[in-house]
Structure 1
């Protein structure tokens, strides 16, 4: 069992203000595998003070953009050398199948760092425009200031790096609050930040609970909050930031729909939904767990989905063959099982799965991969984000009806359409009110493309040039020539 007694504050390891610790529990065994120091409000104050000083007085915001790009590239290089260790840590602390951790939490963050560095190299940090009143206008891109980056446990490194990289490249200083369920990967990232030799105060990484997170959001010296998590918490953060006119970016929940048109191949659809709906054991905000199938071919698609679900290997997340691992906690297990029970009570037909423990697994926070048919879009299992391996099949009666059902949701984060006719698929994609979409593939979180939600799925965009813009302010300077 590992033990970390210190916190990463302002780029240095420091003693915590309290003796509180976080027990890191393996979702596979239910056993404590590590303890780490927990940050309290006083530690948040120290981290923000360091970040404020580094931003107001330090070199980081005043470096040439090329120097910040070079620093982020150093971090990417160091990260690449520790990818295997990062993946193993995440699988051990939150139960993600190792195949998922290796790409999404170890390889993809390095791609993000490189992509953002490339984007920053193309930014017009200063440009002159001819004004309408005779003089020139100098337009500058300047950093927004001290950033609070708050991330959940389900994709910890991808989400941290997706906020940290653009904030650093913009010239901001950053206080990261990692989820208490996943502090180990965050600590490894802190080690890499030290090796990358960033100036003091530029980065702090604090594992902490909700109380410390609220304190960070409301801190008067924080200029922007970037949050990924539940819609309920996002509303609270938006209200706090609105009261002080603090900049805010929110990437929130989803209840996304995969629209299957009547010319789609059932086997290809099932293979796509395996990734789109069940990656990371269903614990992703972009999970497309409402599967809308044409009523006239309903049974064909249902049979293909059932064959796919039945063939998934459930078990030890460290096994490369595992498709479905445990959920992150007993609380999450109970929550998902509650949704499954509600689906049965509401009249949905249970095709596979259910609330029992998977065969052969006596320990761990597992949920059987579950497939429902005869689901009405008004049922709770179709309306609320479940965050587990549960698919709901909903019949539709043509493209218009499918679009209507897909849009009948409080959320608008992701989605896909499956068809033999690409133009027909694009016509559907253009009409579904969601921030990201895939045609004949799950939505791909490409570092070059903006990602974010509509409706209750969030405010703002991450990734791509739009992601960097979120950490920049535009300043206009009127210039009159002398003489």
Structure 2
């Protein structure tokens, strides 16, 4: 069976080429998906443009849009096990994490249903004989391009606020994980969104370039690699159109000399090994103060070696396969370069030996002793590879932590909260965790600095990001304007 893509309310697949989604735990085919042509993508954009002008959507009151978003959330929850299984079959993450992400996706739709219904314009104090106010309108046709690591939440994080704002969307999921986007298209129609409000296309890089370059696309929201994000930024900048770019990271996770190691060790493991390290937020540079370096590292290595690598459907699995075999090969090349550069492998560094895992894209959780100048400590690996780096004092730490192109997240482990805040304010990053890591909330802003991206998602401003503000001047004077001169 071939999975079709969605344009308006039409599911298309006849006569299209296909590609396969591979289950990375055993190399089996998870799905065969029809690939959108350039003409299909153009049709999807036209469908979205028509939906914007449809009075059924254009003039829909906010409370009714809110009702549709709540219905979408209901359907996500009603299809929870199917959605979780679909994501795990696409990218191999543990089904336990996929189930948690279903709940998170539903929360995005519910939260923005509330923001949609309660959002207001602004009355501006007048500076003359007029009544001044502003209101917010949808930006228009939004192209949403998403990655393969967590489509359940990352696609909901874009769809919910953009729909709440009243836009029409063309969604393109990663070709590695195409199925969740198709499921969201199905649920949108079932929830009652008018045809064309959400269109879902498929394909690889050329599909994305077509979307970004199309003159009828008013905005792009992208989560993915920094190189691709920069290319999108150049195109949108030349077109003078907005873009939200949520890109990569090489985040410092800092263990100070007064840290509670009972908290810091499991915290460091979650930071780098959760979802096999396939997260832009990963705490991949583990800075440890010299006086506790040996004690911390010995505990972290022992705890890492005890992690279970295995089947995504096994409740005891901590490290599931990587999302694709090509991605594993890329990480292995980076590890080989790290060895050449002088990094010491403290644990891991290869494929697990268990015969039961041989057919999957598995990689051992890996810890390296490095310095901050090595390529492995500067480039995003996007896998279960942590670089442990010593530091002397706070100034040494700040110098090293900020010496990187990325600026997405940061973790700080210390009993001294004043010290933590002093450090946090001097580290160039968009997110800071103190004595925790990887907590996120739908009502908190999320995004990075430097090469980690442009713009923020989440919170009530996350809906405003998909809107444009319009100013109104209402004349309150009883006499005409005194013009022309001498009148």
Q: Tell me the CA shift for residue 199 of structure 1.
A: 0.8
Write the mapping of 1:69-108 to structure 2, written as runs, cut at 5 A. 69-103=66-100, 105-108=101-104
Question: SS at 2:431's partner residue?
Answer: coil
Of 423-432 and 290-299, more deviation after overlay is shown by: 423-432
Matched, 1:60 2:57: yes
Cα deviation, 1:321-342, whole Å, max 9, x if unaligned, reads: 1110111111101011111111
For 1:316 and 1:23, the matched residues in 2 are separated by 21
Per-residue deviation, residues 280-331 of structure 1 (Å, max 9, x unmatched) = 1000111011100011211111011102211110011111111101111111
Q: Does 1:475 align with 2:470?
A: yes
- The residue aligned with 2:279 is 284
Q: 2:177 aligns with which of 173, 178, 182?
A: 182
C-alpha separation between the residues in 2 aligned to 1:440 and 1:188? 37
1:123-175 per-residue CA deviation (whole Å, 9 max, x = no partner) reads: 21x33323212311120111100000000100111111111111111110011
SS at 2:460's partner residue? Answer: helix
More displaced, 40-49 or 420-429? 420-429
The correspondence of residues 159-238 of structure 1 with structure 2, limited to 5 A, is 159-238=154-233
The equivalent of 1:442 in structure 2 is: 437
Tell me if structure 2 keeps the 8 A contact 1:257–1:291: yes
Give the TM-score normalised by the residue count of structure 1: 0.96
Say yes or no: does 1:250 pair with 2:245.
yes
Cα shift readout 1:358-383 (whole Å, capped 9, x = no counterpart): 4332211111111111x110101100
1:50 equivalent among 47, 50, 53: 47
| Native 8 Å contact 1:61 1:143 kept in 2 | no
Do the aligned partners of residues 358 and 136 (structure 1) sit closer, same or farther apart at CA in structure 2, a change above 3 Å counting? farther
Q: Give 1:75-474 correspondences, 5 Å limit.
A: 75-103=72-100, 105-124=101-120, 126-360=121-355, 361-373=357-369, 375-474=370-469
Question: Partner residue of 1:37?
Answer: 34
Question: What is the CA–CA distance in structure 2 between the aligned matches of 1:5 and 1:154, rounded to whole Å?
Answer: 21
- Distance, in Å, in 1 between the alignment partners of 2:241 and 2:213 is 9
Q: CA deviation at 1:107?
A: 1.0
- What is the alpha-carbon distance in structure 2 between the residues aligned to residue 164 and residue 58 of structure 1? 21
- Residue 306 of structure 1 contacts residue 351 of structure 1 at CA under 8 Å; is this kept in 2? yes
Cα distance in 2, alignment partners of residues 18 and 129 from structure 1? 56
Q: Is the 8 A contact 1:62 1:171 kept in 2?
A: no
Distance in 1 (alpha carbons) for counterparts of 2:124 and 2:365: 58
- Conserved 8 A contact 2:16-2:37: no
Bigger mean CA deviation after superposition, 382-391 or 25-34: 25-34
2:6 to 1, 4, 8: 8
- In structure 1, how many angstroms separate the alpha carbons of the residues matched to 2:415 and 2:379? 30
**TM-aligned CA deviation for residue 408 of structure 1:** 1.0
Deviates more, 1:187-196 or 1:312-321: 187-196
Secondary structure, counterpart of 2:221 in structure 1? strand
How much does 1:112 deviate? 1.1
Structure showing greater Rg:
2
Change (3 A) 1:150 1:332: same
1:121: Cα distance to partner? 2.9
Give, in angstroms, the shift of residue 17 of structure 1. Answer: 7.2
Distance 1:294 1:61 in 2: 57
Question: SS at 1:328's partner residue?
Answer: coil
Do the aligned partners of 1:140 and 1:474 also contact (CA within 8 Å) in 2?
yes
Please tell me whether the aligned partners of residues 436 and 443 of structure 1 are also in contact (alpha carbons under 8 angstroms): no
Query: 1:144–1:472: 8 Å Cα contact kept in structure 2?
Result: yes
TM-score (norm 2): 0.95
Cα distance in 2 for partners of 1:286, 1:272 equals 13
Count of paired positions: 477
Give the CA deviation at 1:247. 1.2
Please point out which of 7, 13, 19 is paired with 2:16: 19
Stretches of structure 1 lacking an aligned partner (at least 5 in a row): none
Deviation string, structure 1 residues 154-208 (Cα, Å, up to 9, x no partner): 0111111111111111110011001111122222222211210111110011222
